Chains A and B, each alone.
Chain A
Amino acid sequence: MRTTRRTGNNAPEGTKGGASDPRLRWYPVSWRARYGDELATLLDDEYGGHLPTLVRLSLVTCGLRQRARQSGLTGDVASAADRVRAGALVVLAAWSAFVIAGASLAKFSEHFDESLPQRTEAHRVPDLAFTVLQTVAGVASALVVAGAFLAIPAFARYLRAGGWASVRGHFGRALACTSVTAAATVLLFFWAHHLTPHQRNSGFHWYGALFLIWAALIAVTFTFWTAAAVASARRVELPTAVLTAEAALSASVAVAMVVMVCAAAVWWGAMAKDAPTFLMASPGGAAASSWDIWLISTVALMAVAMVTAAAGVVREVRVWAQMRAA
């Protein structure tokens, strides 16, 4: 037998059969082109036509793990640049989740000032915490926008080179969802003008239901746009200087998320101390204590996003450290 040298992901000619096997759909395309035929044959040899559920689940997890390795999220098979980029994109995805949680917190905390006692001291801590939260959120948003602007020239080059076909689906979904959300916004806006303040604030269940659907649409739209941004950023060739700037920006955004979670916790604590009735009468329904389920879910999502962003930054820092050591 002769050996045939292949590096992991370069598919040789004539091995495309397993690439389209639906059982292997969780694996990256390039991996399927190289190993798909063999793995599909092995599955046929071992299990015939029926795959046990555990094997199916194993293929899903192994496929996703392979995707994570190839994209640079885990392992060291991807180039240093791809691993740094993957870390930055983890921060971007975490930021999107954080924004959704932040919007939920903004809705929850509407008019909180009016519930605080009249004395000035009672206002100091929650006002300061909320101001810090809003200011840092603004700064972090500006950093994310700056990161997007930095990547525009590389994205334009990618589109000019015929890359539109590979990201068209992502942008199509995002645009379609944006259209539906815009229509729902118009509908909600005109309906709200025909309702009394009491009806708008939990007094009319149909309006409340539409508001929740609208909020879910906003979240889905945001998620689709983030997916489109991540899909594009994974494909473009970023110059080293731009990649370095993106890494620095993403680290700054992660730090901002830590500050915002701390500020949210301080605000929550101060409100629980000085205006617990505000937390009890949340729009999600009356809770028995200041541990309101809406607020808990919101802050938990913020915390999860913060930890995810920190993991992305750790990934970037490790790669930089390895590059320096080399």
Chain B
Amino acid sequence: MGRGKSAHGRRSNDPPTLILMSLAGGAKHGHALLKDVEEFAGVKLGPGALYGAITRLEERGLIEALESDDRRRPYQITAAGSRALADYVARMRGLVEVGQARLKVARMPQPGMA
């Protein structure tokens, strides 16, 4: 996976990344996923985008459907999905640390500057 890319090769605000993050907190169906993503990321996903992402994630084995008698089928993250998300979060943490360190340097008064 390239630098700055998510578990599935997209950017951090892409629906698949947000869905993986949401499902890492527990199994959810479509409606609950939309609400959770809106709450923790401030992103309002459309139903079409949500199910496009669910399709791709399920095809890659990163999430799986749970059996349900209800028409609202819940999904849960798989072990592969958890690993992919962990890799992505670790990479993002590295980027955040670099950003924070550079911001500290930028805020420090430079010698010779008024």
Contacts and interface: CB of A to CB of B under 8 A. Distances in A.
Interface in B43-102: 46-52, 54-56, 58-59, 64-68, 71-74, 76
A35 B67 contact: no
A265 B31 CA distance: 55
B21 interface: no
Across the A-B interface, the 7 shortest Cβ-Cβ residue pairs:
A62-B48, A42-B30, A41-B71, A1-B66, A58-B48, A8-B59, A4-B67
A39 B30 contact: yes
- Which has the most chain B C-beta neighbours within 10 Å: A3, A5, A37? A3
Which size bracket describes the interface of A in this complex?
20 to 34
Which size bracket describes the interface of B in this complex?
20 to 34
B67 A3 contact: yes
B71 A8 contact: no
A58 B46 contact: yes
A61 B49 CA distance: 9
A96 to B, nearest CB: 29
Contacts of A63: 48
A192 interface: no
- Which has the most chain B C-beta neighbours within 10 Å: A7, A8, A37? A8
A169 B40 CA distance: 49
A231 interface: no
B27 interface: yes
B59 A3 contact: no
B52 A42 contact: no
B18 interface: no
Contact of A2 (B50, B67, B72): B67
Contact of A35 (B31, B46, B54, B74): B54
28 contacts: A1-B67, A1-B74, A3-B64, A3-B66, A3-B67, A5-B64, A6-B65, A7-B59, A17-B71, A35-B51, A35-B55, A38-B71, A39-B30, A39-B48, A40-B71, A42-B31, A42-B72, A43-B47, A45-B30, A45-B31, A55-B47, A55-B48, A58-B49, A59-B47, A62-B48, A62-B49, A63-B48, A77-B56
A42 B71 CA distance: 9
Nearest to A36: B51
Contacts of B51: 35, 38-39, 42, 62
A66 interface: yes
B34 interface: yes
